[in-house]
Chains A and B, each alone.
Chain A
Amino acid sequence: MDTIDTRVKTDNLVEVRGVRQSYHKDSSADLLVLDNVDLTLRSGEIVGLLGRSGSGKSTLLRIVSGLLRPTSGDVSWRGASLLGPAEGVAMVFQSFALFPWLTVQENVELGLEAQGVARAEREKRAEQAIDLIGLGGYESAYPKELSGGMRQRVGLARAIVVHPDLLLMDEPFSALDVLTAETLRTDLIDLWMDGKLPIKSVLMVTHNIEEAVLMCDRVLVFSSNPGRVASELIVPFAHPRNRLDPAFRQMVDDIYALMTRRAPAKSTPTPVTTATALYPVSTNIMAGLLETLAAAPYSGRADLPALAAALQLELDELLPLGEALQLLRFGTLADGDLLVTETGRQFVAADTDPRKALFAAALRAHVPLVAQIRQVLDERWNHRASAVRFRDELEDVMSPEYADNTMSAVIAWGRYAELYSYDEDADQFYLDEDEE
């Protein structure tokens, strides 16, 4: 088994220069997913790409893997231009991507078979990798007989068996439960520190801040829409790291602050228009969060990392919630904290119907798209309007996925506020009798 070659520690494995990735759209200008991203990967380091969903970090990973060609910009792999899936790069998938009709052994051998490695050699190397990753004895099992953590171990074994210089991991632990994920993370770091992995460098995508600080030597924080590298941080702690260490906690806090600072209304107050992308946050959870915030021990102000830990919410879930509250002026995001506003307190104190009234007022005042839909419905003689036109208008300025999210948000919030109803079969907004 190879070990890390210390002589090439300063070599650049991957260089990404000025990469832009756009989503092609016929009717209007291209929509940017990644904008002007630079990234250098050196031997001997674990680098994390941290950001919220939709920040393009997975796209960047696929560009580095050669699965995707960037719209513009250069990617070089070991000094040569990267034009397709390269030798020496292996990938671990969020969904494990195991072939259910192949046994553990056969799954692990797959990459070697693609390289045309002879059978005997294939079997030997696969067995080594399986043993290394702690799956010895499971060679003849089928993936469906294994637990989630075991499956991801197969995914890891399949990647390292080809002795890649670069291991790519796309949110490898996010489909696992907390305990399993933690075990797998520590096991992986232990193997890495002991130099037992035949790998020179790791690039991993995550939306979990603690995971990034726990595992990575360097973290690139992405901002969303379009994806850019907002900042680059060196994690100075030696392995094994302690999550409870104050310095560790401080770094997690700082990254939270860094990520919430990118929220629209704070730094650059970009006006909310009918073309602003919305995220369909459940009104129930918004109400629940407001109630929690207003009550003790938070009494109106909560530190985001602490809140995330207490509510068992991922960054990816908490931030959209905070932003939705901020959008409706029920809350404010500042310096990694979430604060309840006066309107927010009124909402918490109110009963069901007054709550709906408050929510409706906030929607009409601060979400122009909702106000526009209601206005169109009021003007129509039959109080019906097709949702297609609103969706089309959104798709002119954002990707279909974002447009879908925005429509879902507008439908769900409008329904809760009883501003309008929505008929899914006809894809139409309409006014009910008591809404008119």
Chain B
Amino acid sequence: MSGTTFPAFASVRRLPNLFDVAAIICIGGLIFAFASGARHTVAPLTAMDAIHLDPSYLPGYALRTTLRMFAALACSLVFTFTYATWAAKSRRAGKVLVPVLDILQSVPIIGFLTFTVVFFMGLFPGRVLGVELAAIFAIFTSQAWNMAFSLYQSLKTVPADLVECATAFQLSPWQKFWRMEVPFAMPGLVWNTMMSMSGGWFFVVASEAVTVGDSTWKLPGIGSYVAQALEERDIAAVFYAIGAMLVVILLYDQLLFRPLVAWSAKFRFEMTASAEAEDPWVLKLLRRTRLLSAIVDRLVFVFNAATGMRLARRTRLIPKASPAVSRVWDIVWVGLLVVAVLVALWKITTYVSAALTWGDLGEALLDGVYTMIRVIVLMILATAFWVPVGVWLGLRPTWARRAQPVAQFLAAFPANLFFPIFVVAIVHFDLNRDIWLTPLMVLGTQWYILFNVVAGAAAFPGDLLEVSKNFRIGGWLWWRRVMLPGIFSYYVTGAITASGGSWNAAIVAEVVTWGSDRLQAHGLGAYIAQASTEGASGNTPKVVLGVVVMSGFVLLFNRLVWRPMYSYAARRLTFA
């Protein structure tokens, strides 16, 4: 036995077998594909190929899209481990970093795509890399915040007895981090990473074809392919793209998502042996290979040796808290913050007052109200439809098991690939844009409601169901007194994600094009999209205004609607 912390791939025999051959060929193929994909990124902008609608180009495009996704994921992980750790370890830093994170979560970053493209193009003038980085940055911003939040919250809630134990046995801070804190955070982090990835597909598709002012860049990828198809009014190509995306997400789901979630279950902090689902086939395959698992064993060994090092000196002193000294530093810290806030405020007012009028603010607010009405109506409709469906599925274990992965899969599927189909229909029947563009906003996000409700109904205590049968509680009374309170906390969790996602989707859903036809609804999303295409490099002040107003709406919506509901559910409607 070694001091392994991550022994998921433990194996005894060391000779290569057939599984190894299969696995090695796959890995070789992946490496080759990654290398050829990466080579193009340093090419000059002028060498950027036009997007071809021939389906034979699709596998290459799909690969580039996936690469972007994982590059962003790597950035998000780096960000998570630094930002969240800093916020959790430093009391003073935490006071600023946590609210900042909270607000960043509500900012529709996709609205900023125009600036980030301009910024990164400035960093690498004339190179594809600039646009590439801008796209990766957009995906990063859709992934990083909730991952960081998850790690932060785990770090803050490590059980006190474990912390005491680690201190009593004198683990160094480095050892504590890797032996105690990271494993404890693992299930939440893996789950949130997966949720982030699901959300990320939407952004990768949206950020590949970027229009800033007069110029448009199309990075090779599925998103650009769809954009090109829209321009050329090629509905068949749209279906090819949907097919390609289905394959990509299926692969990602099977090769990464399921093995990772199954693996992270061992870090769950519970002392009862719960029934565990069978290992996904990829994990089984990995465990069966000999050479590969030997390599993984070596890697695990190196990882554990590195994380097991003492590095910093062990805690020798338990400091006595001296309130007087720390209070002085608190005052200094708060003082610095106040100065920073004042400077920022002054900068914003001078900048905004030069370029914007009160009329602009009024327009943005009015558009915000339109979009808010859309979000509210959509949430009500989605709830009315999916809650009964979810409960029906959740109460039937066999159906719940089948429905759960499908709903998760649908949530990961970038809904913007389906937009063209709606657009064609709207153009064909000449429908009211303000009404019929609306469903696009909830196309990708409604699934969060479904799979949370399914999970809630599946977890509903059997004895309570029996009680309600015994007293013959039925009809509306059953919903009101039995089922709805029981699934409420799950529903709220799903609805928060769904409504946040809908706000974000507004930016791409309220304005769509089909060849030369441009369909636009009234709303804040359309306002931002419109402002980004004005002038040579977009109407920056208006975009900022639009994004700020939208963030304000999202924050208010969260604080006034979801938070109170959530805390009520946590207090009253849990079975603990």
Could you list which residues of chain A lie within 8 angstroms of chain B, going by C-beta atoms?
A: 24, 62, 65-69, 83-85, 87, 89-91, 93-97, 99-103, 105-106, 109-111, 113-116, 119, 122-123, 139-140, 142-145, 151, 158, 162
Interfacial residues of chain B within 181-214, with CB under 8 A of chain A in the complex: 183-184, 186
Indicate with 1 or 0, residue by residue over B510-526, a CB within 8 angstroms of chain A CB atoms: 00000000000000000
Q: Nearest Cβ distance between residue B488 and chain A, in whole angstroms?
A: 16
Contact between chains at A93 and B161 (CB < 8 Å): yes
A residues less than 8 Å from B315 (CB atoms): 84-85
A residues less than 8 Å from B164 (CB atoms): 62, 67, 91, 93, 97
B residues less than 8 Å from A109 (CB atoms): 3
B residues less than 8 Å from A89 (CB atoms): 168
CA distance A85 to B266 in the complex (A): 30
Closest 4 CB pairs of A and B: A111-B169, A97-B165, A97-B161, A101-B183
CA distance A370 to B175 in the complex (A): 52
Within the complex, which residue of A106, A114, A142 is in contact with B171, where a contact is CB–CB below 8 Å?
A114
From B105-113, B318-326, B375-383, the one touching the partner chain is: B318-326
Indicate with 1 or 0, residue by residue over B156-188, a CB within 8 angstroms of chain A CB atoms: 000101101101111110010001100110100
B317 at the interface (CB under 8 A from A): yes
8 contacts between A and B (CB under 8 A): A66-B168, A83-B318, A89-B168, A91-B168, A95-B161, A100-B270, A111-B170, A114-B169
Contact between chains at B271 and A101 (CB < 8 Å): no
Contact between chains at A99 and B273 (CB < 8 Å): no
Contact between chains at A115 and B1 (CB < 8 Å): no
> A106 with B5: in contact, given A99-B183, A114-B175, A143-B271 (CB under 8 Å)?
yes
Q: Nearest Cβ distance between residue B190 and chain A, in whole angstroms?
A: 13
B314 at the interface (CB under 8 A from A): yes
Contact between chains at B1 and A144 (CB < 8 Å): no
Identity of the chain B residue whose Cβ is nearest the Cβ of A116 in the assembled complex: B310
Q: Nearest Cβ distance between residue A309 and chain B, in whole angstroms?
A: 30
CA distance A62 to B161 in the complex (A): 12
CA distance A91 to B169 in the complex (A): 8
Contact between chains at B1 and A105 (CB < 8 Å): yes
Within the complex, which residue of A84, A97, A100, A103 is in contact with B318, where a contact is CB–CB below 8 Å?
A84
Identity of the chain A residue whose Cβ is nearest the Cβ of B161 in the assembled complex: A97
Within the complex, which residue of B2, B171, B172, B323 is in contact with A119, where a contact is CB–CB below 8 Å?
B2
B349 at the interface (CB under 8 A from A): no
B316 at the interface (CB under 8 A from A): yes
Q: Nearest Cβ distance between residue A417 and chain B, in whole angstroms?
A: 26
Q: Nearest Cβ distance between residue B63 and chain A, in whole angstroms?
A: 35
A residues less than 8 Å from B90 (CB atoms): none
> A99 with B179: in contact, given A66-B318, A106-B5, A119-B2 (CB under 8 Å)?
yes
Beyond the given pairs A97-B165, A158-B169, 10 more chain A to chain B contacts, judged by CB atoms under 8 angstroms and listed by A's residue number, are: A67-B318, A84-B317, A93-B161, A96-B161, A114-B170, A114-B310, A123-B2, A143-B271, A144-B270, A144-B273
Identity of the chain A residue whose Cβ is nearest the Cβ of B309 in the assembled complex: A116
CA distance A111 to B3 in the complex (A): 12
Identity of the chain A residue whose Cβ is nearest the Cβ of B321 in the assembled complex: A24
Within the complex, which residue of A62, A96, A106 is in contact with B3, where a contact is CB–CB below 8 Å?
A106
Contact between chains at A67 and B167 (CB < 8 Å): yes
Within the complex, which residue of B3, B168, B267 is in contact with A101, where a contact is CB–CB below 8 Å?
B267
Q: Nearest Cβ distance between residue A91 and chain B, in whole angstroms?
A: 4
Q: Nearest Cβ distance between residue B157 and chain A, in whole angstroms?
A: 15
Contact between chains at A99 and B162 (CB < 8 Å): yes
CA distance A69 to B316 in the complex (A): 12
CA distance A113 to B272 in the complex (A): 27
Identity of the chain B residue whose Cβ is nearest the Cβ of A111 in the assembled complex: B169
Indicate with 1 or 0, residue by residue over B296-334, a CB within 8 angstroms of chain A CB atoms: 000000000000101000111111110100000000000
Contact between chains at B268 and A93 (CB < 8 Å): no
A residues less than 8 Å from B318 (CB atoms): 66-69, 83-85
B269 at the interface (CB under 8 A from A): yes
B residues less than 8 Å from A158 (CB atoms): 169
Q: Nearest Cβ distance between residue B188 and chain A, in whole angstroms?
A: 13
Contact between chains at A65 and B168 (CB < 8 Å): yes
Identity of the chain A residue whose Cβ is nearest the Cβ of B323 in the assembled complex: A24
Q: Nearest Cβ distance between residue B514 and chain A, in whole angstroms?
A: 53
B4 at the interface (CB under 8 A from A): yes
Within the complex, which residue of A90, A122, A143 is in contact with B169, where a contact is CB–CB below 8 Å?
A90
Q: Nearest Cβ distance between residue A57 and chain B, in whole angstroms?
A: 16
> A100 with B268: in contact, given A69-B318, A114-B310 (CB under 8 Å)?
yes
B residues less than 8 Å from A66 (CB atoms): 168, 318
Identity of the chain A residue whose Cβ is nearest the Cβ of B315 in the assembled complex: A84
CA distance A144 to B164 in the complex (A): 20
CA distance A324 to B92 in the complex (A): 45
Contact between chains at A85 and B167 (CB < 8 Å): yes
A90, A95, A139, A140 — which one has the most chain B CB atoms within 10 A of its CB?
Answer: A95
CA distance A83 to B316 in the complex (A): 7
Q: Nearest Cβ distance between residue A129 and chain B, in whole angstroms?
A: 14
Indicate with 1 or 0, residue by residue over B251-279, a CB within 8 angstroms of chain A CB atoms: 00000000000000011111111000000
CA distance A91 to B184 in the complex (A): 21
A residues less than 8 Å from B2 (CB atoms): 119, 123
B residues less than 8 Å from A90 (CB atoms): 168-169
CA distance A418 to B316 in the complex (A): 55
CA distance A97 to B161 in the complex (A): 5
CA distance A162 to B170 in the complex (A): 11
Interfacial residues of chain B within 1-49, with CB under 8 A of chain A in the complex: 1-5, 7
Indicate with 1 or 0, residue by residue over B351-386, a CB within 8 angstroms of chain A CB atoms: 000000000000000000000000000000000000
> A119 with B310: in contact, given A99-B183, A110-B171 (CB under 8 Å)?
no
A residues less than 8 Å from B169 (CB atoms): 85, 90-91, 110-111, 114, 158, 162
> A91 with B165: in contact, given A69-B318, A101-B267 (CB under 8 Å)?
yes
Identity of the chain A residue whose Cβ is nearest the Cβ of B272 in the assembled complex: A144
Within the complex, which residue of A101, A105, A111 is in contact with B266, where a contact is CB–CB below 8 Å?
A101
Q: Nearest Cβ distance between residue A100 and chain B, in whole angstroms?
A: 6
Contact between chains at B170 and A115 (CB < 8 Å): yes
Q: Nearest Cβ distance between residue A395 and chain B, in whole angstroms?
A: 18
A68, A106, A113, A114 — which one has the most chain B CB atoms within 10 A of its CB?
Answer: A114
> A113 with B183: in contact, given A83-B316, A84-B315, A144-B271 (CB under 8 Å)?
no
Contact between chains at B273 and A69 (CB < 8 Å): no
Q: Nearest Cβ distance between residue B538 and chain A, in whole angstroms?
A: 49
CA distance A158 to B317 in the complex (A): 23
Q: Nearest Cβ distance between residue B314 and chain A, in whole angstroms?
A: 7
Within the complex, which residue of B3, B4, B180, B308 is in contact with A99, where a contact is CB–CB below 8 Å?
B180
CA distance A66 to B315 in the complex (A): 11
CA distance A215 to B165 in the complex (A): 24
Contact between chains at B165 and A122 (CB < 8 Å): no
Contact between chains at A69 and B170 (CB < 8 Å): no
CA distance A65 to B321 in the complex (A): 18
Contact between chains at B310 and A101 (CB < 8 Å): no
Contact between chains at A103 and B179 (CB < 8 Å): no
Contact between chains at B272 and A114 (CB < 8 Å): no
A residues less than 8 Å from B183 (CB atoms): 99, 101
B3, B162, B186 — which one has the most chain A CB atoms within 10 A of its CB?
Answer: B3
> A119 with B266: in contact, given A68-B318, A114-B171 (CB under 8 Å)?
no
A residues less than 8 Å from B316 (CB atoms): 83-85
Indicate with 1 or 0, residue by residue over B137-169, a CB within 8 angstroms of chain A CB atoms: 000000000000000000000010110110111
Q: Nearest Cβ distance between residue A203 and chain B, in whole angstroms?
A: 13
> A83 with B161: in contact, given A91-B168, A103-B1, A105-B1 (CB under 8 Å)?
no
Within the complex, which residue of B168, B273, B314 is in contact with A145, where a contact is CB–CB below 8 Å?
B273
A residues less than 8 Å from B319 (CB atoms): 69
CA distance A91 to B162 in the complex (A): 12
Contact between chains at A93 and B165 (CB < 8 Å): yes
B171, B184, B271 — which one has the most chain A CB atoms within 10 A of its CB?
Answer: B271
CA distance A379 to B171 in the complex (A): 59
B residues less than 8 Å from A123 (CB atoms): 1-2
CA distance A140 to B169 in the complex (A): 21
Identity of the chain A residue whose Cβ is nearest the Cβ of B319 in the assembled complex: A69
Contact between chains at A113 and B175 (CB < 8 Å): yes
A residues less than 8 Å from B7 (CB atoms): 103
